[in-house]
Homo-oligomer: A and B are copies of this chain.
Amino acid sequence: MLSKNYEVFIGCEANFDTADIVLFGAPYDSTTSYRPGARFGCRAIRTESGGLETYSPYQDKDLTERSICDSGDIELPFGASEQALYLIKKRADVILNAGKVPFMLGGEHLVTLGAVQAAYAKYPNLSIIHFDAHTDLRDDYLGVKLSHACVIRRCWDMLGNGRIWQFGIRSGDKAEFAWANAGHTHLQKFDFSGLTDVLQNLSGQPVYFTLDLDVLDPAYFPGTGTPEAGGVTFRELLDATLTVCRHANVVALDVNELAPNLDASGVSTAVAGKLVRELLLAI
């Protein structure tokens, strides 16, 4: 990471050693089944972060007062999911082992699996808080186990029942909802009802927070591969996000599924960047 050849997220200019939080990008979208482009998400968030301020009027905090390192994107081989996940896990391992919080920018949702593997290796009692429009609970997709449509199921393979808390879900096949409701995960349809209770119960335990941005209504976030009407507003998401950060012990996190090529207005990228800033200030 010596010779830096990329733009960092605004205000994240600490070097690795002094940082508390370490950003990295996972530009991979080879298993996206509908409309690709999430590979461009992490870079867009960085290069457009110049349109943001470092100061948050929501939290009255400033990124310049924090110690955050942006370690750039991992170079990932398209069409080779296993190897990509291996490289992601390796990067997250390094950050976790240095006692820092890894903050991954996707990429499609499959990348979460690599980071969760790393977090789970360090925290065997890990729980996952999952904001998403989609269940992501299929066992396979056209025979493929490593797919964005299966990522939470793959996490469950590791963590088992009662460790995964899903919010905002409004799409999936019938079997996925049934499987969740059979005790495998906690699945809250449509919104964030019950989030505070969940956080109270988790209090103190290590949490991986994965935020699939398509939990937002497409009115607020059109730039994503599989937009799904009926989602939450930006303010609802910001509130829920800050609630998680304040009340949970977040040991690793990610923001994923921005496909900036699908929103020429640039708004989706701006939304993602603002959420990243708020997350960086809140955890």
- Any B CB within 8 A of the CB of A242: no
Alpha-carbon distance between A110 and B30 when the two chains are bound, in angstroms = 14
- Any B CB within 8 A of the CB of A83: yes
- Any B CB within 8 A of the CB of A206: no
- Any B CB within 8 A of the CB of A179: no
Are the C-beta atoms of B266 and A57 separated by less than 8 Å? no
Alpha-carbon distance between A271 and B228 when the two chains are bound, in angstroms = 7
Cβ contacts A142-160/B at 8 Å (1 or 0 each): 1110110000000000000
- Any B CB within 8 A of the CB of A238: yes
Are the C-beta atoms of B219 and A230 separated by less than 8 Å? no
Are the C-beta atoms of A55 and B229 separated by less than 8 Å? no
Known contacts A172-B57, A173-B53, A189-B57: does B141 contact A77 (CB below 8 Å)?
A: yes
Alpha-carbon distance between A148 and B218 when the two chains are bound, in angstroms = 28
Chain B residues within 8 Å of A52, by CB: 171
Are the C-beta atoms of A170 and B79 separated by less than 8 Å? no
Q: CB-nearest residue of chain B relative to A64?
A: B174
Cβ contacts A233-247/B at 8 Å (1 or 0 each): 111001000000000
Are the C-beta atoms of A144 and B79 separated by less than 8 Å? yes
Cβ contacts A163-177/B at 8 Å (1 or 0 each): 000000111111001
- Any B CB within 8 A of the CB of A282: no
- Any B CB within 8 A of the CB of A102: no
- Any B CB within 8 A of the CB of A263: yes
Q: Which range contains the number of A residues in contact with the other chain?
A: 35 or more
List residues 187-241 of chain A with CB under 8 A from any CB of chain B.
189-190, 217-220, 222-223, 226-230, 233-235, 238
- What distance in Å separates the Cβ of A86 from its nearest Cβ neighbour in chain B? 11
Are the C-beta atoms of B271 and A229 separated by less than 8 Å? yes
Are the C-beta atoms of B228 and A77 separated by less than 8 Å? no
- Any B CB within 8 A of the CB of A54: yes
Chain B residues within 8 Å of A141, by CB: 77
Q: CB-nearest residue of chain B relative to A275?
A: B229
From B7, B31, B142, B271, contact of A75 by CB (8 A):
B142
- What distance in Å separates the Cβ of A8 from its nearest Cβ neighbour in chain B? 6
Alpha-carbon distance between A173 and B55 when the two chains are bound, in angstroms = 6
Q: CB-nearest residue of chain B relative to A272?
A: B229
Chain B residues within 8 Å of A262, by CB: 265-266
- What distance in Å separates the Cβ of A270 from its nearest Cβ neighbour in chain B? 5
- Any B CB within 8 A of the CB of A136: no
Q: 6 shortest A-B CB distances, which residue pairs?
A: A31-B79, A222-B265, A36-B36, A77-B142, A30-B30, A30-B79
29 chain-A/chain-B pairs, Cβ below 8 angstroms: A6-B6, A30-B31, A34-B51, A35-B261, A47-B47, A51-B226, A53-B172, A53-B173, A54-B173, A55-B172, A55-B174, A57-B177, A75-B142, A77-B144, A77-B147, A79-B81, A79-B144, A79-B147, A83-B143, A217-B234, A218-B220, A219-B219, A219-B220, A219-B234, A219-B267, A227-B265, A227-B270, A262-B265, A264-B264
